[in-house]
Amino acid sequence: MRNYSSFKFNALWFLIIANVLIFIITLIQPEAIFLLGLTPAYFLHQPWTIISNLFVHAGFRHIMFNMISLYFLGGFLLRLVGERDFLRVYFAGGVVGNIFYILLGPSFIPGVGASGAIFAMGGALAIMVPKVRVFVFPIPIPIPLWMATIILLLLSFLPSVAWQAHLGGFALGLAAGYFFKKRRRAYYF
């Protein structure tokens, strides 16, 4: 039987709660999406949006899938690298994803969501623990195959999704995973 009294509030729970609270705020005040979402054409006038958009979501399904992914991928990464490096991957992945969106995305469409940050976690895990299997619709699939499949779907079939942010976050995650894996090996010698 699981002991629920051992619950620990950590960076992962902070991010999930912050995302949900900001989602509720944008439901009450929809214009907040334009204040917090990253619109490439307005970025120089709203520089905070390179971070704030990581906490804004376009609908219930968007936040639900992102928070489920954040919980599972983020929880795994948090246990592997610790809280500080977990937060570094999350925010660096989100910012790099946003830079990709600014450079390659549509100029006047706000980009919102934590997907770039979440894909950074997936990229890091793909390098660090490539044989770990993720259950996708009851089929166990290795993390690298799962991430590659998701990226191909985003690039090919979902034109309304900010694939640029996903790709940028994933690239940062791959680099972070390589760094963490190399650092971990150095401790063994």
Over 70: is that where the pLDDT of 19 sits?
A: yes
Q: Which of 42-51, 89-98, 135-144 has the lowest mean pLDDT?
A: 135-144
Cβ(43)–Cβ(50) below 8 Å: yes
Check if 166 is active-site.
yes
Among residues 5, 52, 107, 166, which one is catalytic?
Answer: 166
Q: Under CATH, which number does the domain 9-188 receive?
A: 1.20.1540.10
Element (H, E) at 95: helix 83-104
Say if residue 113 is exposed, middle or buried (CB neighbours under 10 Å; 0-12, 13-18, 19+). Answer: buried
**pLDDT score of 189:** 42
Nearest Cα residue to 148 out of 123, 131, 124 = 123
Name the more confident of 22 and 134. 22
Over 70: is that where the pLDDT of 153 sits?
A: no
Specify the 3-state DSSP secondary structure of 134: strand
Cβ(12)–Cβ(78) below 8 Å: yes
Check if 156 is active-site.
no
Say if residue 45 is exposed, middle or buried (CB neighbours under 10 Å; 0-12, 13-18, 19+). Answer: exposed
Among residues 107, 115, 156, 160, which one is catalytic?
Answer: 115
**pLDDT score of 156:** 52
Q: Tell me the mean pLDDT in the region 159-168.
A: 86
